[in-house]
Structure 1
Amino acid sequence: MDFLFQPETYISLLTLTLLEIVLGIDNIIFISIVTGKLPKERQKRIRTIGLLLALLFRIGLLCIITVIIGLKHPIFSVGSFAFSARDLILLLGGLFLIAKSVTEIHGKVEGEEHQVKSSKSKAGFAILMQIVALDIIFSFDSILTAVGLSNHLGIMISAVVISMVVMIFFSGYISEFINKHATLQVLALSFLILIGFMLTMEAFHYEIPKGYIYFALFFSMVVEMINLRMRKKEVAKH
């Protein structure tokens, strides 16, 4: 228990918590967009369930971290390329995220995004299953990052719990803001396509620094915020 009285412990906890929040942005964006199809009174409930499931997945994966690390070992090869279980999970997750995001963009362009509201119970279950699938993929990335920054299971679980509480608190505001502006939805979906592409490349052992993607998102969001402000001024003039 001596590590509880060491300053490095709390620095590690703060760093890991902030990193978990940053890595959770793509999860919140995806959840916000897919739950935006549901009636407003059901959105918060499905969002909260989705994020709580993500929390349970991450804590569960941390508790079997030796198994997760073992997933990096090759299980079969195609030519000179060796695939591990982790590679397959990342590949399937990346392709799913790309396909889902492209489909969502197509639906918005063609005006088909509200069709899911016709069957509320089936829509809620289908959306929750999509969230669960992405939770599993994003959890792997989150857990492997946590392991790289800390050796204490307690610190890693604490960071995951704190970051998830923060994300649950702010998810409603983020969801409302994204779903209020169609251009932001398309921008967010484009960002998810980038994340899907990154996961696919990682499956083939091509590491793309995540900082580039998150900076691109931040820069695009700043530009879009300026555009929204300018459009409001134009509307006010007329």
Structure 2
Amino acid sequence: MADLLTFENLGNLLMLCFLQAVLGFDNLLYISIESQRAPVAQQRAVRFWGIIVAVALRVILLFVMISLLDSLTDPFFVFNWEGVLTGGVNFATLVFVLGGIFIIYTAVKEISHMLAVDHLDTDVEAKSGKSALTVVMLIVFMNLIFSFDSVLSALAITDVFPVLAIAIILSGLAMLVLADGVTRFLEKNRMYEVLGLFILLIVGVVLLGEAGQAAAHAMHDDTLALRFFGYEVVPMSKTTFYFSVIVLFAVEIIQSGYARKLNAERRAGGGH
């Protein structure tokens, strides 16, 4: 126990908490949006148990990855279709591909649903069409997809299991505290829900980009990077991702302010 109470481990813990907070933004956004698909009376319980179960499984995932890191990172298949598809595939590649496709599908489906709805009241009722258990399972599944990237990043900082586990648990507690507030904000500001879905769409693209480099980074071999028609699949940098998110928020805020100004001018003109 005394070996854990070092300045190095404390510094790593603080760094890991910051990392979990940054990487957990999109996860929290997904939880807030998806939980609204459950019956209204059970939405808060869905968020609570979804996060609790997901955090527990994330700690288990961390333990498994530390124990089986070599076998999980080794490529089990290498594409060699010159000029069409080349590169290695490992467990991380599959996780990122499946997670990215699922998130993109979810975002596109929900955006299409919003465009197809004629009345807001109908939309509210339709959102409660999934069972609480189904939504909890989806939240847990996507939490694990999101956490895979954060766990790999955390292992690059330290391999001390208690430090990593504490950082994961603290991030889970933070999500529990913030989830209800984020959901209430989205419910009161429906326009930001559309913005959130577009952010999830970008997250899906980011995960697909990560898939292209997963085997190459694990084996430190650039020849294992996935290439389509000779073009390497390069992941979007975190800086680019968060810059895109900031731009989307800025556009939404400016557009909303401009719309309010136009409405005020129309009302003023109608009064005369």
TM surpasses 0.5: yes
For 2:136, the aligned partner's letter is L
The CA RMSD over aligned residues, in Å, is 2.3
Q: Call closer, same or farther: CA 1:44–1:152 in 2, change over 3 Å.
A: same
Kept in 1, the 8 Å contact 2:32–2:182? The answer is yes
CA apart distance, 1:160: 0.8
Q: Give the alignment partner of residue 102 of structure 2, picking from 93, 96, 99.
A: 96
- For the residue of structure 1 that corresponds to 2:38, the secondary structure is coil
Kept in 2, the 8 Å contact 1:21–1:167? The answer is no
- For the residue of structure 2 that corresponds to 1:194, the secondary structure is helix
In 1, the alpha carbon distance for the partners of 2:57 and 2:141 equals: 11
Q: Call closer, same or farther: CA 1:48–1:68 in 2, change over 3 Å.
A: farther
Q: Give the alignment partner of residue 252 of structure 2, picking from 221, 224, 227.
A: 224
In 1, the alpha carbon distance for the partners of 2:263 and 2:40 equals: 27
For 1:218, the aligned partner's letter is I
In 1, the alpha carbon distance for the partners of 2:33 and 2:181 equals: 13
The number of aligned residues is: 235
CA apart distance, 1:223: 3.9
Given the alignment of the two structures, is residue 117 of structure 1 paired with residue 148 of structure 2, yes or no? no
Q: Call closer, same or farther: CA 1:68–1:181 in 2, change over 3 Å.
A: farther
Identical-pair percentage: 29
Kept in 2, the 8 Å contact 1:32–1:179? The answer is no
Residues 159-216 of structure 1 deviation map (CA, whole Å, 9 limit, x = unaligned): 1111110111011111111232232111111111111111112212233212211232
Tell me what 1:210 maps to.
238
- Report the TM-score, using the length of structure 2 for normalisation: 0.78
Tell me what 2:141 maps to.
133
In 1, the alpha carbon distance for the partners of 2:48 and 2:257 equals: 30
In 1, the alpha carbon distance for the partners of 2:40 and 2:69 equals: 37
CA apart distance, 1:233: 6.4
Larger Rg: 2
For 2:155, the aligned partner's letter is V
Tell me what 1:144 maps to.
152
In 2, the alpha carbon distance for the partners of 1:140 and 1:168 equals: 20
Kept in 2, the 8 Å contact 1:33–1:179? The answer is no
Q: Call closer, same or farther: CA 1:234–1:123 in 2, change over 3 Å.
A: farther
- Runs of 5+ unmatched residues, structure 1: none
Tell me what 2:111 maps to.
105
- Runs of 5+ unmatched residues, structure 2: 81-85, 214-233, 268-272
More helix by share: 1
Q: Call closer, same or farther: CA 1:8–1:107 in 2, change over 3 Å.
A: same
Q: Which moved more, 1:49-58 or 1:217-226?
A: 217-226
In 1, the alpha carbon distance for the partners of 2:208 and 2:57 equals: 21
- Report the TM-score, using the length of structure 1 for normalisation: 0.88
Q: Call closer, same or farther: CA 1:193–1:68 in 2, change over 3 Å.
A: farther
In 2, the alpha carbon distance for the partners of 1:175 and 1:227 equals: 22
In 2, the alpha carbon distance for the partners of 1:7 and 1:43 equals: 41
- For the residue of structure 2 that corresponds to 1:74, the secondary structure is coil
CA apart distance, 1:66: 2.8
Tell me what 2:72 maps to.
71
Q: Call closer, same or farther: CA 1:82–1:51 in 2, change over 3 Å.
A: same
For 1:93, the aligned partner's letter is G
Tell me what 1:158 maps to.
166
Tell me what 2:224 maps to.
none
Kept in 1, the 8 Å contact 2:104–2:201? The answer is yes
Kept in 1, the 8 Å contact 2:100–2:207? The answer is yes
In 2, the alpha carbon distance for the partners of 1:69 and 1:236 equals: 63
CA apart distance, 1:41: 2.6
Tell me what 1:181 maps to.
189
